[in-house]
Amino acid sequence: MHHNEPLNDRNVSEQSPYFYVDIEAYPTTNWDKFKQVVKRTFNGELFVGLWVVMREMIKFDIHTVQYPKEKLPIGPRYRAVHKLLRLWESGYERCIGCGLCEKICISDCIRMETKIDENSRKEVTEYSINLGRCIFCGYCAEVCPELAIVHGQRYENGSEQRAHFVIKDDMLTPLDWLTSGQQEEFPGFGAITPNESVTKTPLAY
């Protein structure tokens, strides 16, 4: 007798790698139960389990990643703590203070303050992300017209204070990193390839 499955529609077809495991009917009479126990006791199922774990212990094929010492590589598009990028040619901040990321943020955790600086350019004086609220959805990076805010690879955000992650200076690429070419760019629409063709945008037309 085939055990009656309560969930029938599991999309199991001929092609799929999934198949029904044949579940034996539960023993109902005492004699059947006794036979099952005797069968399971003496056909060595228990020893198969013992052998398997002993084999693994002897093989000593350890799969542990000793995390703080070893780290697994993460995907280039992994969405961890944000970064603010700089312009390759000039070293200025890319952020133009348009406020789109602030608007689109669904958890309302981005906040920026801007002013007009002495060159009549819009300058971002404060830029903060409340990582306690951020859900790392990536909308801010998606909407940014200047590729100024992107998601970084820094996923270890354990600290004494959450404020440590949201200071603008921590997110912004340091200038010496930029000159030594450590600022990473992601390939894709609108992205730039840093080479000689990237030149300074003339301010005066």
Which strand (E) or helix (H) includes residue 128?
strand 122-129
CB of 17 to other proteins, least distance (A): 25
Q: Which residue has the tokens 């000593």?
A: 60
Q: Which two tokens stand for residue 117?
A: 């600086």
CB of 29 to other proteins, least distance (A): 8
DSSP H helical ranges for 78-186: 100-104, 139-143, 168-171, 175-179
Nearer to other proteins among residue 39 and residue 121 (C-beta):
39
Q: How many CA atoms lie within 13 A of 125 on its CB side?
A: 5
3-state secondary structure 87-125: CCCCCCECCCCCCHHHHHCCCCCEEEEEEECCCCCEEEE
CB of 67 to other proteins, least distance (A): 10
CB of 7 to other proteins, least distance (A): 18
CB of 62 to other proteins, least distance (A): 6
Residues that bind other proteins (CB under 8 A): 26, 28, 30, 33-34, 37, 46, 49-50, 52-54, 56-57, 60-64, 66
Nearer to other proteins among residue 55 and residue 164 (C-beta):
55
DSSP H helical ranges for the chain: 30-42, 45-59, 100-104, 139-143, 168-171, 175-179
Q: How many CA atoms lie within 13 A of 91 on its CB side?
A: 8
